[in-house]
Amino acid sequence: MAENNQTIVLITGANAGIGWETVKALLQSERSYHVLIGTRNLQKGQEALVSLKEVAFNTKSTTELLQIDVSSDESISKGFDLVQATHGRVDVLLNNAGIALDAELVFGDITMREAWNKSYDVNVSGPNILTQTFAPLLLKSFDPRLIFVSSGLASLGRMSEAHYPAPPPIPAGWPKKGAYLPSSYRSSKTALNMAMLSWHWILKEDGVKVWCVEPGFLATGLGGERAAQARSSAGHPSSGGKLLVTVIEGNRDADVGRVLNRGGIQPF
């Protein structure tokens, strides 16, 4: 049970990657939080708790596992009922859970329809249904914050100028190789940016601060083993966790309704 002076933060996909690093950064903060560690798999959540205790043993904050799968309406509903009964509010809702299936599509592990449908289910539908469900608990907060984790690949403005990251020259003719086909991941994150804007205006009069955060190209497990080689030059996920904590702690309040990154604001 959270103490009255603690900020209650719910993070989906918090057992690994940027989610785990965000929990770690919160536990290492001078402020006091009660962090709801959203995880699909409770065993992986327990393992995450053990590893967190090793790096944040003098914390002022507390943690609690919350089994939640953003692709399941039933799981989201059960999570809401539990948090409502136990805490009655959420101060920060961080939609971090995501999926990237482009590498699996390139290698032929899944079909294009499977890649696109599942990408939108987890990266767009899931965060929106979670937000819709938990909104009543956010509105119980004195300082409600709603955050969606986006991507640097989601910028329409940047992509309209040139394909990025710059691929090798794409020869004319058909068929195109899988790596040259449109990305379900980046498209879903662009859609998420629009959803964030919608929530920004919908919840503005309720005092909810809303952002997308682009954490940078980081070496997480996103994309699975198929994408491991592409992550070889990526940064450490701790930088993404630290960036998200600056938003949680109020350092980017002047930039609500934007896509934030380490350098400032990412163009839509």
6 Ramachandran zone, left/alpha/beta (phi>0; psi -120 to 50): beta
Q: Which residues form the domain of 213?
A: 7-266
Instruction: Confirm whether 250 is domain-assigned.
Output: yes
pLDDT digits (tens, 9 = 90+) for 86-141: 999 999 999 999 999 999 998 889 999 999 999 999 999 999 999 999 999 999 99
Percentage of the chain exceeding pLDDT 70: 92
Residue 48, pLDDT > 80, answer yes
pLDDT of 167 higher than 90 = no
Question: pLDDT value at position 225?
Answer: 59
Is 2 domain-assigned? Answer: no
- Asked, for residue 47, whether it belongs to a domain, the answer is yes
> Within a domain: residue 69?
yes
**How many whole angstroms separate alpha carbon 195 and alpha carbon 120?**
12
Is residue 255 included in any domain, yes or no? Answer: yes
Instruction: With beta carbons less than 8 A apart as the criterion, state whether 86 and 139 touch.
Output: no
Give catalytic residues, as residue numbers: 151, 185, 189
* Amino acid, single-letter form, for residue 131: T
pLDDT for position 33:
97
Q: Is residue 1 part of a domain?
A: no
Q: What is the residue-averaged pLDDT of the chain?
A: 92
For residue 81, the domain's CATH number is: 3.40.50.720
Are 201 and 231 in contact by the 8 Å Cβ rule? The answer is: no
Give the burial string for 209-242 (b: 16+ CB within 10 Å, else e).
bbbbbbbbbbebebbeebbeebeeeeeebebbbb
Is 28 domain-assigned? yes
Total structural domains within the chain: 1
Among candidate residues 38, 44, 45, the one with its CA nearest the CA of residue 79: 38
